Amino acid sequence: MMKPKGILFLLSVILLTACSDVTREWKAATAAQKYYEQLAKGDTGLFLQGKTGVDSLPAGYRQQLLKAIQQYQTDMQQKHGGLHGVRISDNLPEADTLLGQPFVKTFLVLCYNDSTEEEIVVPMVEENEDWRMK
Protein backbone atom coordinates (compact mmCIF):
# COMPACT_ATOMS: atom_id res chain seq x y z
CA MET A 1 0.00 0.00 0.00
CA MET A 2 1.27 3.45 -0.95
CA LYS A 3 2.00 5.95 1.85
CA PRO A 4 0.16 9.31 1.90
CA LYS A 5 3.33 11.20 0.86
CA GLY A 6 3.71 8.89 -2.12
CA ILE A 7 0.11 9.43 -3.15
CA LEU A 8 0.53 13.22 -2.90
CA PHE A 9 3.70 13.08 -4.96
CA LEU A 10 2.05 10.92 -7.61
CA LEU A 11 -0.95 13.26 -7.80
CA SER A 12 1.29 16.31 -8.13
CA VAL A 13 3.24 14.68 -10.97
CA ILE A 14 0.00 13.83 -12.76
CA LEU A 15 -1.30 17.38 -12.32
CA LEU A 16 1.96 18.96 -13.49
CA THR A 17 2.04 16.73 -16.53
CA ALA A 18 -1.58 17.47 -17.37
CA CYS A 19 -1.14 21.23 -16.88
CA SER A 20 2.02 21.51 -18.94
CA ASP A 21 0.23 20.69 -22.19
CA VAL A 22 -2.18 23.56 -22.67
CA THR A 23 -4.60 22.58 -25.40
CA ARG A 24 -5.56 24.88 -28.24
CA GLU A 25 -9.13 24.75 -26.92
CA TRP A 26 -7.97 26.07 -23.55
CA LYS A 27 -5.94 28.82 -25.27
CA ALA A 28 -9.08 29.82 -27.18
CA ALA A 29 -11.15 29.93 -23.98
CA THR A 30 -8.52 32.03 -22.22
CA ALA A 31 -8.43 34.49 -25.12
CA ALA A 32 -12.24 34.77 -25.08
CA GLN A 33 -12.13 35.44 -21.36
CA LYS A 34 -9.56 38.22 -21.85
CA TYR A 35 -11.70 39.92 -24.52
CA TYR A 36 -14.77 39.87 -22.27
CA GLU A 37 -12.69 41.15 -19.36
CA GLN A 38 -11.85 44.17 -21.55
CA LEU A 39 -15.57 44.68 -22.09
CA ALA A 40 -16.13 44.50 -18.32
CA LYS A 41 -13.49 47.23 -17.90
CA GLY A 42 -15.36 49.39 -20.42
CA ASP A 43 -12.81 49.07 -23.22
CA THR A 44 -15.14 48.43 -26.15
CA GLY A 45 -12.34 49.18 -28.63
CA LEU A 46 -10.13 46.34 -27.37
CA PHE A 47 -13.15 44.05 -27.28
CA LEU A 48 -13.82 44.89 -30.95
CA GLN A 49 -10.17 44.16 -31.77
CA GLY A 50 -10.85 40.62 -30.56
CA LYS A 51 -13.24 40.04 -33.46
CA THR A 52 -11.97 38.09 -36.45
CA GLY A 53 -11.47 40.12 -39.61
CA VAL A 54 -12.07 43.46 -37.92
CA ASP A 55 -8.92 44.96 -39.43
CA SER A 56 -10.20 44.49 -42.97
CA LEU A 57 -13.67 45.97 -42.39
CA PRO A 58 -14.72 49.27 -43.96
CA ALA A 59 -14.55 52.13 -41.45
CA GLY A 60 -18.33 52.69 -41.51
CA TYR A 61 -19.13 49.07 -40.72
CA ARG A 62 -16.47 49.03 -38.02
CA GLN A 63 -18.13 52.06 -36.39
CA GLN A 64 -21.51 50.29 -36.52
CA LEU A 65 -20.01 47.26 -34.76
CA LEU A 66 -18.46 49.50 -32.12
CA LYS A 67 -21.85 51.18 -31.52
CA ALA A 68 -23.51 47.74 -31.22
CA ILE A 69 -20.91 46.67 -28.63
CA GLN A 70 -21.44 49.92 -26.71
CA GLN A 71 -25.20 49.28 -26.77
CA TYR A 72 -24.59 45.73 -25.49
CA GLN A 73 -22.55 47.19 -22.64
CA THR A 74 -25.29 49.77 -21.90
CA ASP A 75 -27.91 46.99 -21.82
CA MET A 76 -25.82 45.01 -19.32
CA GLN A 77 -25.51 48.14 -17.19
CA GLN A 78 -29.26 48.82 -17.25
CA LYS A 79 -30.38 45.21 -16.69
CA HIS A 80 -27.72 44.00 -14.24
CA GLY A 81 -25.82 47.02 -12.96
CA GLY A 82 -22.92 46.13 -15.23
CA LEU A 83 -20.45 43.31 -15.67
CA HIS A 84 -17.90 42.81 -12.91
CA GLY A 85 -16.23 39.55 -13.87
CA VAL A 86 -15.80 36.81 -16.43
CA ARG A 87 -14.72 33.24 -15.88
CA ILE A 88 -14.31 30.17 -18.02
CA SER A 89 -17.23 27.79 -17.52
CA ASP A 90 -16.95 24.27 -16.20
CA ASN A 91 -18.19 23.18 -19.64
CA LEU A 92 -15.04 22.31 -21.52
CA PRO A 93 -14.24 24.13 -24.76
CA GLU A 94 -14.54 21.91 -27.80
CA ALA A 95 -13.32 21.94 -31.39
CA ASP A 96 -16.04 22.10 -34.02
CA THR A 97 -16.61 23.07 -37.64
CA LEU A 98 -19.18 25.30 -39.30
CA LEU A 99 -19.51 25.27 -43.08
CA GLY A 100 -16.11 23.60 -43.28
CA GLN A 101 -14.48 26.29 -41.08
CA PRO A 102 -12.76 24.98 -37.93
CA PHE A 103 -13.44 26.86 -34.71
CA VAL A 104 -13.43 26.29 -30.97
CA LYS A 105 -16.66 26.58 -29.03
CA THR A 106 -15.80 28.22 -25.69
CA PHE A 107 -18.08 28.70 -22.72
CA LEU A 108 -17.83 31.74 -20.46
CA VAL A 109 -19.77 32.81 -17.39
CA LEU A 110 -20.55 36.52 -17.22
CA CYS A 111 -20.81 37.68 -13.60
CA TYR A 112 -23.03 40.73 -13.19
CA ASN A 113 -23.12 43.32 -10.41
CA ASP A 114 -26.65 42.24 -9.39
CA SER A 115 -25.18 38.81 -8.45
CA THR A 116 -26.69 37.02 -11.45
CA GLU A 117 -24.60 34.98 -13.85
CA GLU A 118 -25.07 34.07 -17.48
CA GLU A 119 -23.30 31.36 -19.42
CA ILE A 120 -22.54 32.25 -23.03
CA VAL A 121 -20.94 30.45 -25.96
CA VAL A 122 -18.15 32.28 -27.76
CA PRO A 123 -16.95 30.73 -31.03
CA MET A 124 -13.22 31.34 -31.50
CA VAL A 125 -11.02 31.02 -34.60
CA GLU A 126 -7.25 30.99 -34.84
CA GLU A 127 -5.65 33.70 -36.97
CA ASN A 128 -1.86 33.82 -37.24
CA GLU A 129 -1.44 32.06 -33.86
CA ASP A 130 -3.86 34.48 -32.16
CA TRP A 131 -7.37 33.55 -31.10
CA ARG A 132 -10.22 35.84 -32.20
CA MET A 133 -13.97 35.83 -31.64
CA LYS A 134 -16.02 34.68 -34.63
Domains of the chain: 23-133 (3.10.450.50)
Whether residue 19 is predicted with pLDDT greater than 80 in this model: the reply is no
Q: What pLDDT band is residue 40 in, cutting at 50, 70 and 90?
A: very high
- Collapsing DSSP to helix, strand or coil, 113 comes out as coil
Q: Which of 16-20, 55-59, 71-75, 103-107 has the lowest mean pLDDT?
A: 16-20
Whether residue 102 is predicted with pLDDT greater than 70 in this model: the reply is yes
Greatest alpha-carbon pair distance for the chain in Å reads: 70
Whether residue 101 is predicted with pLDDT greater than 90 in this model: the reply is no
Q: What pLDDT band is residue 47 in, cutting at 50, 70 and 90?
A: very high
pLDDT at 88: 97
∠ Cα 111 113 119 (to 5°): 20
The reported pTM is 0.80
For residue 89, which of 108, 116, 110, 117 has the smallest C-alpha distance?
A: 108
For residue 111, which of 84, 132, 72 has the smallest C-alpha distance?
A: 84
Whether residue 69 is predicted with pLDDT greater than 70 in this model: the reply is yes
The percent of residues above 90 in pLDDT, for the chain, comes to: 70
